[in-house]
Every structure is written in structure tokens, then in C-alpha cells.
Amino acid sequence: MTSRRSALSLLAGAGAALAVGAPSAHARAARPRPFGRHGSPARRLDARTLYVDPHGRGDHTDVRSALDAATGSGRTLVIAPGTYRGPVTVPADRAGLTLIGASGDARDTVLVHDNAAGTPKPDGSGTLGTSGSATVTVQAAGLTVRDVTFANDWLRSDNPEYTGTQAVAIKVQGDRSAFYGCRFLGHQDTLYADSLSLTAFARQYYRDCYVEGDVDFVFGRATAVYDRCHFRTLTRTDLASAPYGFVFAPSTAGANPHGFLVLRSRVTSTAPDAYYKLARPWVPSTDLTAHPMLTVRDTYLGPGIDAVTPYADMSADFPWQEQRFAEHRNTGPGARVTAPADRPQLSASEARAHTPAGWLGDWRP
């Protein structure tokens, strides 16, 4: 049987594979200087910077111990190329934290684990659930991450007995969370863009990032902007027909005027044409007043997206037509409008309000 690591690499495709054990040429050349231009323990950029290297050339050999040491706010972790396995939590008291993948290539610095929602808890009291499956959980505000891969390499094929197949790579709850040049790898529920509570409208910004998965793999109730990102839907061998899954599943709180905004991005696929829906609304049982919101604009939608019926319902009680879904000036075969009622479009005047500035307010990441 193909291992979970190699399977995820194969599904990701050329240039998009989970590079476990396969650092980039840049990383191989930089091994004598694992932290690149970011200093080292001997040439520390400042007293608030810590260095992580699995080969012992930093202050810590794993991210969890570095986070334990990075008390207070405004700390920086420079993470050398390597694969760091195990769940990690960034607690609320680590506000203003910065994580930097030292090589400048997210393929080189990988935070990964393999829990799923159906994984039994160590104490035998039940299963982990969706949130508990996350490789990384971020509760702190003001997080900035550059050039890091977050992955969950749990596979359905390795665990056919599981019914809880959600496997989160990262759950982000903090306000003012920004990710640049990062990669998010998984299958179901890869990127959980959330908030700490129903009344906390956490703002998040993703720029030049890559996200892959199959079912609802970008989901949650955050106010999130995805700018110049690449979303890739994966082939599934456990299903014989469409749909394989859904790219977006927002669960925006009803009181929140802003949900997910996708712009200047692209959606591609390794699956057959029209085997994916663009989105479906998630109204969780914990918030039946949710009013999911998604705007996709100025984005290329590849042939993997079903252009005829790009949206679907998660529950018949909450049809997608009653949610806040809209598009504007998208291109590609998956953006073709054949039935206008099934492709709600913003007018030019309406689109002027659907911008990063409109979503993020006084925060300028």
C-alpha cells in the first residue's frame, strides 16, 4: 500500500508535492547556513528571535519546544529546512508571533501530522473531532507566517474504518493572521479559517499561497482574504462519479458583514473536468444563524469546476441560494455562465465594496 506521505506527494502533482525528504536545490545549497539570511544563534538578529533546526544547529530542534520558550509577544521563530512532525498550538498569549521558513521556499520547511476527526483520543474518551485533528492550531492574534508548509497526511485509504475523515492541516482563529508564500496540504478540511468565538470576527490574509484538498478544504467563519492564491482539487480513488468535493465551505456568522473573499487567484485540478463544485455553505449545528458568505472575483476557474452547477447545498434546510455567494469577472472554463440564476454576479458598483480594504478595515497586512 502506498504510504500516506508518498500518496500525498503523488496526488499533489509536479511542483506541488509535499516535499518530505526532498528539499529544494536552494535548501541543499544552503545547508552550511541553515538559517540563510536570517542570522543564527551566533549572529542573532535580535534578542526576541529563536532558531529551530532539526539537526541541532539552532536554539531548539522542534517547533513545539521553541514555542514553549517564546514567551510574551512579538517573538520570531526562524525555522530551518526540515520536516517537523507532531501537533502544534500557538496559544493566545503568543501575540504578534512571526514564523519564517528560512530557505524562502515553503517546500523546504514542513509542519505535518496525521490525525483525523475519527482518531481516538489518547485517554479513550472519544475521538479528536475536526478541530482536534489539526496539525497546527493558532489562537494568538497578530500571527505572520512566511514560506512554511502546513500539512495533514492522514489518508482515507489507510483507515477505511473511519467515519470522521476530516483532517485539518491548520486551524487559524486569531485576528490579524497573515500568511505569505505558504502551502496548505491535505484532503478534507485542509485550511480551517476560523475565529475564537461567534462574536469575534477574526481577519485573515493569505497572499501567494497554495492550498490543496478535496472536501470543503477551505472552510470556516473567519473574515478571510485569499489574494493571488492557487487552489488545487485532487483526484479521488474512493469515488466513481462526481462530485468529488467542494473548494470552499464558509460558515460566516450572520452578524459578520464579511466572509471569504477570493481574488486574483486560480483554481486548478488533477480530477476529471467538472468533478468539483466551487462551494457549498456550511451552517453548523452550533450556529444555526450562520449566513455563509463567499465572493470569488478576477479569478481563473479551471475545467475541474462544474460550470453548470458550481454550488451545492450541505443541508436542504440552508440552500446556497439563500446565502451570500457572488462572483465577478472570473475567467476560465469553470467560470462559464450557462444559467445566470446559478451564477450570481456582482455589478461593477457592487464589486467596488468587495476588496481587501473593505474586508480588513483598519488592518493593512
Say what the alpha-carbon torsion angle 145, 182, 141, 173 is, to the nearest 10 degrees.
-160
- Annotated catalytic residue: which of 53, 59, 114, 189? 189
194 part of the active site = no
9, containing H or E segment:
helix 4-12
216 part of the active site = yes
Contact 265, 248 (CB under 8 A): no
* Residues present in the chain in total: 365
- The residues pairing with 333 across neighbouring beta strands, listed in sequence order, are none
- How far is the C-alpha of 230 from the C-alpha of 232, rounded, in Å? 6
- The residues pairing with 245 across neighbouring beta strands, listed in sequence order, are 276
Q: Grid coordinates representing 20? A: 518530505
Q: Grid coordinates representing 363? A: 488592518
- Annotated catalytic residue: which of 53, 108, 147, 216? 216
Question: Among 178, 185, 182, 235, which Cα is nearest to 203's?
Answer: 178
| Main-chain dihedrals φ then ψ at residue 129, nearest 5 degrees | 80, 170
Q: Which residues are annotated as catalytic?
A: 189, 216
